[in-house]
Amino acid sequence: MFDNLEKNADSGSSTTSARPTWTGSSDKVGTDASAAPISGPAEGITSPQQGHSRPSDDLLLQAVRTLLARNSRPFAAGVYGLMRQIEPTFTFDSVGFSSFRAYLSDAADRGVVTFSPAPRGSDVVIAETSGSGTDKRPALVTATTLRKDLWDAFVDWSNESNYVFRPMTNEVAALKPGESAGDGAVHIPSASRDDQLVWMRELAASETNAAVKDELEAALREDQPTRAFAKVLRERTSVGRAWKRHLRRMILNRASQWAEENGLPQSVLQPATIHEPPSRNQTATNEDSAARDRVLAILADLPLSELLKLRIPLEYALRR
């Protein structure tokens, strides 16, 4: 993945604009959402007024809607876990609260969600309010995996990159200059150099280690920022892993939105399932079972006079 940065490093840019995304400033593991007491914002944090939204509200609603789309009840513990799965940098303290329940209480006061006690236990069930001031479109269920040919198309920021997806043949094609896309082809919006620079700055801004943060921000001020950024990633393996997670999340979000906007099922994003042939032992067992069924069917049709003529080994007669 760092090699891709080097390969594309400072090779030009395109005009594709980056989609805004929320990232927190902390990556500490929070306490159990269901057991957290209800309390207000942390000291020094001002709560937005009724009808105003926090950047994390979209993440909250996405998690609630995703669980509902999976036919799962949006319990607070599950919602918090899914929010951290979608955006690992999110924690309740990174948005100024002492507990996730406190954040929910604030969101309820602002009309974003409501919550009620769960049928059992101390958890609560979250519901979206009809008066929420956030975007009311159905939540995008973000893909969790992406097939390699689509991944390569989405991350290629070179100026000449021009990829299309052909639904009829389920294939990705890299078009040459002047080549026709063909009927029904869907353009793939590769993440431009500028898009990925924005994502790099987001990662730098979310870094909690001051020295590492300064190093990343200094790299991004270089004449060749992507090359310098890739050098830091190679030297600091933990930051390199964080970048891989962040890039993966951004590309999956973009791919999911692209599929939704073009009326494509999310299944086109998934790698093909490989069905392994049955093992030799499994095949032999199936054949034995089929032969046994045929023999039993024949015996069931034979009259008693014919059955008495059959020779049966004595050991079968002595079995109990």
Calculate mean pLDDT across residues 282-300.
Answer: 67
d(CA 133, CA 46): 18
Q: At CA 58, angle to CA 52 and CA 60, rounded to 5?
A: 105
- 320 vs 96, higher pLDDT: 96
Residue 223 CA to residue 124 CA, distance in Å, equals 51
- What residue spans of 122-224 are helical by DSSP H? 148-155, 193-206, 210-220
Higher model confidence: residue 80 or residue 286?
A: 80
Give the separation between CA 4 and CA 200, rounded to whole angstroms. 14
Of 107 and 25, the structure prediction assigns the larger pLDDT to 107
The least confident of 34-43, 59-68, 169-178, 214-223 is: 34-43
> Looking at residues 98-116, what average pLDDT do you find?
89
17 pLDDT above the threshold of 50? no
pLDDT at 12: 42
**Tokens describing residue 105:** 């209480």
pLDDT digits (tens, 9 = 90+) for 179-219: 888 888 999 999 888 888 888 998 888 888 899 999 999 99
Radius of gyration from C-alpha coordinates of the chain: 29
Q: What is the pLDDT of residue 282?
A: 53
pLDDT at 117 over 50: yes
301-318 pLDDT, tens per residue? 777 777 777 777 766 666
Structure tokens at 68: 């509902």
Contact present, 252 and 143 (Cβ < 8 Å): yes
What pLDDT is recorded for position 44?
37
pLDDT surpassing 70 at residue 60: yes
The pLDDT value given to residue 6? 52
How many Å separate Cα 300 from the centre of its chain? 56
